[in-house]
A and B are shown apart, each in its own frame.
Chain A
């Protein structure tokens, strides 16, 4: 299969793959290498996402728009609700404390770790909302 015949979903995997590899190897890589490598990975993922979007046909684009609006917005709303809840009841975050402590021991600042966790959790909530809404769009009325 040639590069141009890769289906749109495969382009997403090709785009996200290097990020997953860099995140996995983040402790092993020297810090001066990490930042440019992370930026290169993000640029690569952005290019693949653009290519993925261009390859989609119009119904798939409509499904994406619908899923981003409803699914991701709902995911974001749930993440914001959880953030408000966690702000008033910090014990709600106790499940992550062990992971944060382990990273603090490795010399990372706790605020940066919590920020990373918050951003990633919000992204995951939006992503999950998107996936559920996207699947619903295609399955409804079949």
Chain B
């Protein structure tokens, strides 16, 4: 029953997509903390923190879900990736630990102002490093450099050359730009009641859009040699071209809406654009998990393993999705981070 492994693979792609769209923007928020400038620099920092604080831990769990699904359902691929990419992934973990801890220290300083300031800086820097390293790792997986010794079944690696190459680094920069792009656009909606601040984030969103474009182009050019399979996958057949056009259209709408200050439309288009980029990558790589030796089918665990996990995923989603909906409704939907009229802040305690 090969279909089951494809369904799990689809869930992995969706989880990665949601991770980039949600947690990616949290990283982006940290990046903009680095570039908080101008007369409203402190205000930018405050609003960024307030936007991230209630949701980042929940958003972060999508990454854990990806890891867990990989090792339960595609153990050979997991083992190969974790062995070959030990160095960038371990470095990414250091970034994840520093980002999360520093953010908590900054949020609950108990009056330790120097520690709070330093934590803020660590948070900002590690927010930039982490997605860069994640992008490098993803680029390395896509590059086709991680191969399996057919006789022993063990991954062939020198632990360095697979990721220390132009293409993975371009993907790292590309992911970084995407995170910054998402965050800036989300922020324009969150501070829409403060037009000057919204304009700050609008400008940042436009710069990030330029960076996204540049790194997308660089990645594509480097892919020709650095990840030939992906390169051909992106151009393979009419469907792929159609897909590129939709992605490009979303990007144009996002930028156009940003210029016109139609922030909600911009957010919608940016979500579509970034989601489609991840999906496009997944489709270009299909049916490989780790090109050229591990396909979705040959790396998958037995169907008797996949089936109950899929059932658990389905039941779990029934609990998870309403909970997520509630979280976002309480902290995000229709709310702005800007001070509201007094009536709105009175708690309905009685």
Chain B associates with chain A:
no
